[in-house]
Chain A
Amino acid sequence: MSRSLAHAGDRRHGPGRVILALYLVFVIGTVSRSAAQISTRFSEAPLAYTLSAVAAVVYVVALVSLASRGPRAWWVSVVALSVELAGVLAVGAWSYLAPQMFPDATVWSHFGQGYLFIPLVLPVVGLWWLLSPQGARAQAHGAESDGVESDGVA
C-alpha cells in the first residue's frame, strides 16, 4: 500500500535505468560485432555468426521495448528477455557440447563467459524487474486491468 506510484508504466527510471544502460552497451557491442563478422568473414563460421546476428536483434528488441511505455512494450520485453535467456542457455550448453561448431565466439558462447557472464545475468535481472511489483505495476498502468494483479499478491 505504501509503495509509491511514481514512474508507473515507465521502465526508463529507477532500477530500470541501470538495466537499460547495460542493454545499450550490449546493443552497441553485438550489433557492431555481428555486422563486422557477417560482412567480412561470414563463411568461416556461419552458425556462430548467424547466432550473433540473432542475439543482436534480440538485444535491440529488448532495448527498444524496455525504453517504451505501456503494456504492449512490457509484453514485448518479457518475450525478448525470455528468448534471450533461452538463447544464452541453449548456445552456452551447445558451445560446450559441440565446440567444433563454434570456431569463433558468439556473445552467448560458454554462457557469456567472454562478457563476464553478464549475458546470463542480465535477462534474469531484467525478468525479475519486469515481473516485480514495479514491473507488474507498469503493466497495469495504461491497461484495462482493475487491480487483478494487485500489489498484495507479490
Chain B
Amino acid sequence: MTGSSAYLDSPTLAALVGGLVVALVTLVAGLNGRPPGRVTVALTLLLQLGVLGYAVLYLVRQLRGESPVGPAWELWAYLVTVVMLPALALVWAREERTRWSTFVLSVAAFTAAVMAARAAQIWYGVGMTP
C-alpha cells in the first residue's frame, strides 16, 4: 500500500472517523454485555444516514461528469456494500436483542468505515494495482 493520504478529503475523513467512533462505542457496549439500545441503534442509524450521503456525494460527482481514477464499477461495489452494512446490522439487531447483536453493529460500523475510505482510494487512484 502507498503511504499517500491524499484521498482523505473531508467527507472521507468524516465517514472514516465517524464509522470508527460508532464501531468503538458499540464494541464497548457489547463488551459490557448490553443488547442494542437507544444510543447504539441511534448511532448506527446516524452512520447509515452518513454513508448514504457519502454515496450520494459520489453520485453527484459522477453526474457532474467527473470520474474515478480506479474502475467505476469497483467504486460502486464498495459504496453499495457500505450503504447496506449498517441497515443489515440494524435488521439483525431487531431480530435478536442480545449483546451479540451489539458486536454485529460494531463489525458493520468498522467495515463500513474502512470500505468508505477504500472507495475514496479508488476515486483518487491511491493504492491501485497497476
Q: List residues of chain A with CB under 8 Å of any chain B CB.
A: 13-18, 21-22, 25, 28, 32, 36, 41, 104, 114
Contact = CB atoms under 8 A, between A and B. Distances in A.
Contact of A17 (B85, B104, B129): B104
B89 interface: yes
Contact of A36 (B74, B107, B108): B74
A132 to B, nearest CB: 14
Main SS class of interface, A: helix
Interface in B105-128: 107-108, 111
A89 to B, nearest CB: 23
A8 to B, nearest CB: 16
Nearest to A25: B111
A36 B77 CA distance: 11
A22 B100 CA distance: 12
A28 B108 CA distance: 13
Interface in B72-100: 74, 77, 81, 85, 89, 92, 96, 98, 100
27 contacts: A13-B96, A13-B100, A14-B100, A15-B100, A16-B100, A17-B92, A17-B100, A17-B101, A17-B103, A17-B104, A18-B103, A18-B107, A21-B89, A21-B92, A21-B103, A21-B107, A21-B108, A25-B85, A25-B107, A25-B111, A28-B81, A32-B77, A36-B71, A36-B74, A41-B129, A104-B129, A114-B1
Nearest to A41: B129
A21 B92 CA distance: 10
B36 to A, nearest CB: 12
Contacts of B104: 17-18, 21
A13 B96 CA distance: 8
Contacts of B96: 13, 17
Contacts of A21: 89, 92, 103-104, 107-108
B98 A14 contact: yes
